[in-house]
Chains A and B, each alone.
Chain A
């Protein structure tokens, strides 16, 4: 084992020092993923701006103000109806039903929905005391979002509450409007049949003082809603709306990154196939053969190095996708399984490619010649979901297709373990056959 890791360590180390190889292994696939990802509108799903459908059941002036307030936040987009040709300005907000909005979240058309319940505008302050035990007259705001989108959910809560306070405040400070409402309320109080005179006069007095309070109020003296000491967890009712599995990628990056992974792996395979030949041409293979290790150990060391580099490449590329581009996994476990099977497959391919010539140029030529067509038909250029029928049928013969399929399966296709089995078995089978063939040829041409 020590000998195997010694070989693997030195091979990985040498790869890391080969700047040209690193470019093809990492930088080029990353550029590919970013270019094609953004070309096809990959960025719609970025955490930078989150699209939310607002279900305005209230339809009041306040709810409109609230929506404007939300939309004015850079982090949030509230969809508007497109204006007819020629008109300028902003269109009205879309008014989906709760059903439609919920479905939109499930299908991934928008990240979340926000429901403004009926009665919100009549008594916006009810929100502050809402929830509790009486479910019926629950006037709390409702946010529907996939439970996996923790970061977005957190951000959304903050933004919604902030917008709520801003809109309430501006409404509240629209003193003329408020005074009108107070007058109306006073009249209502006076007319209320189930209040006794004492209560009526107390309320009337309160309304009167509120009236004068409003006249003295200076806008901007208290901007922070939290400072009032309200319990905000009651205002927002977060509902889990699971995104439906197995249909659409959430962004074009979820298409371009799996492709980038296989381009990266192809470069890893090229680089390692060449190191095998280089062992031969630099004479170090002679040393390896004279060392007290078996051919099996030697090949195992090479395979370990290649596997490690493959996993490293995929991890690095996916980290960029996850951290910088908000790519998320349907199932991280299955994605990991896909990654392992893909790495095994390409390790086998590397072994086979490495014995296809005796010189570096022969091997790299043979490797390109063999892998490029597979990459082209296997979804390296044309995404699997965009393939015409004949190409899709042809792609079954390419290991690249199975690698991309498996990776996408864990990423956005929502594969079950059973669905994952087929591509994974195909990948392992290709890997094993290629490796055995390569090892056999290597053994025969050793000296």
Chain B
């Protein structure tokens, strides 16, 4: 559906995007996970034709030019920054953007209605956007990208600065769109979001894609071992036969089979006051790939 080949973009001396290639299949959800400044926004700007790459090319379907009107009609973009007319009402914003995509008459009205419901703003439709809360604006920002029923949806960090309830609402809506076959490109620096919503995830840092695969494959490959930590009530039997680090009354076991390790502790009648298993996740993948934590950067 979308193919990018060797994209590069430079801002002055800064190489914001460095030789990025990726492909998004029809109906797929691809996550672009990376810290601030990784080059996510710059990459998607080139993918949707808002920014001209210095090098490389973008293919959308059969078209090589993402600036053509027919191509653009198929894409919906929810920019990272809120892009709304604050003096207009939610409904007027949706109608304006719908009309820009060629909707009219009853179709425009029904799509606007649908988008308002999607954003959970049906009862605030007549209020000016400047009176909305941050979360409402976020939801409307996303809804404006959907009013024309695009087959490809590009969301640039759509959940920044909103409460868990609004976030879940957005997740539910995006999942509903996915089940209808919408292709999704989703950037975020929250690994939970990438893990929940995306089929495949590209890990990005310093303008480069470090790895691109399914969540499971990435974890298998870069996540390392699970970590079992247990607090001991008594002494540890001598014949444990597990590679374990013991410090004081806690024990740490790094293993590919954490449940097997716990079972073994049970079989040896080890008395445990608390137990914790840390499965490898995208955070660990990122750490492994970049030497930094997603949250720190």
Contact = CB atoms under 8 A, between A and B. Distances in A.
Contact of A14 (B87, B97, B144): B87
Contacts of B51: 447
Given A289-B50, A290-B48, A7 B88 contact: no
Nearest to B81: A283
Contacts of A6: 95-96, 99-100
B190 to A, nearest CB: 22
Interface in A282-332: 282-284, 286-294
A422 B86 CA distance: 43
Given A3-B99, A292-B69, A13 B92 contact: yes
B134 to A, nearest CB: 15
A91 B52 CA distance: 85
B100 A288 contact: yes
A10 B96 contact: yes
Nearest to A285: B83
Interface string B63-79: 00000011111010101
B102 A3 contact: yes
A71 to B, nearest CB: 56
B49 interface: yes
A447 B84 contact: no
A287 B102 contact: no
A2 B95 CA distance: 12
A284 B84 contact: yes
Contacts of B118: none
B100 A291 contact: yes
Contacts of B99: 2-3, 5-6
Contacts of A18: 87
Given A14-B85, A282-B84, A293-B100, A447 B73 contact: no
Interface string A1-44: 01101110110011001100000000000000000000000000
Contacts of A284: 83-85
Interface string A125-156: 00000000000000000000000000000000
B129 to A, nearest CB: 10
Nearest to A294: B69
Contacts of B70: 292
Contacts of B210: none
A14 B84 CA distance: 12
A370 to B, nearest CB: 26
Contact of A292 (B86, B96, B102, B144): B102
B88 A291 contact: no
B101 interface: yes
Nearest to B154: A290
Nearest to A301: B100
B225 to A, nearest CB: 44
Main secondary structure of the interface of A (DSSP, over half): helix
Contact of A293 (B50, B69, B88, B128): B69
Contacts of B92: 10, 13
A18 B130 CA distance: 13
Interface string B86-130: 111000100111011110100000000000000000000000100
Contacts of B101: 291-292
A447 B50 contact: yes
Interface in A50-100: none
Interface in B137-180: 144
A443 B96 CA distance: 23
A8 to B, nearest CB: 11
A7 B97 CA distance: 9
Given A291-B97, A447-B52, A282 B102 contact: no
A301 to B, nearest CB: 9
Contacts of B86: 282
B157 to A, nearest CB: 13
Contacts of B79: 283, 286-287
A286 B70 CA distance: 18
A291 B69 CA distance: 8
B82 interface: yes
Contacts of A290: 48-50, 72, 75, 77
A3 B71 CA distance: 16
A234 B86 CA distance: 67
Interface in B37-77: 48-52, 69-73, 75, 77
A291 B72 contact: yes
Contacts of B144: 287
B82 to A, nearest CB: 6
B100 A3 contact: yes
Contacts of A294: 69
Contact of A286 (B50, B69, B88, B100): B50
Contacts of B100: 3, 6-7, 287-288, 291-293
Given A287-B77, A290-B50, A447-B51, A17 B87 contact: yes
A286 B83 contact: yes
B56 to A, nearest CB: 17
A447 B53 CA distance: 12
Contacts of B128: 17
A283 B82 contact: yes
Contacts of B81: 283
Contacts of B96: 6-7, 9-10
B88 A10 contact: yes
Interface in B169-208: none
A264 B72 CA distance: 39
A221 B137 CA distance: 78
A290 B44 CA distance: 12
Contacts of B69: 292-294
A292 B71 CA distance: 8
Question: Which of B70, B77, B88, B99 has the most chain A CB within a 10 Å cutoff?
Answer: B99
Instruction: Kindly list the 8 A-B residue pairs having the minimum CB-CB distance in the complex, ordered from nearest.
Output: A6-B99, A283-B83, A292-B69, A292-B72, A291-B100, A283-B81, A14-B87, A10-B96
Given A286-B79, A291-B97, 11 more contacts: A2-B102, A2-B104, A6-B99, A18-B87, A282-B82, A284-B83, A286-B50, A287-B79, A289-B50, A292-B73, A292-B101
19 contacts: A2-B104, A6-B96, A6-B100, A10-B85, A13-B88, A13-B92, A14-B87, A282-B86, A284-B85, A286-B50, A286-B77, A286-B79, A287-B79, A288-B100, A291-B97, A292-B72, A294-B69, A447-B50, A447-B51
Interface of B: 48-52, 69-73, 75, 77, 79, 81-88, 92, 95-97, 99-102, 104, 128, 144
Interface of A: 2-3, 5-7, 9-10, 13-14, 17-18, 282-284, 286-294, 447
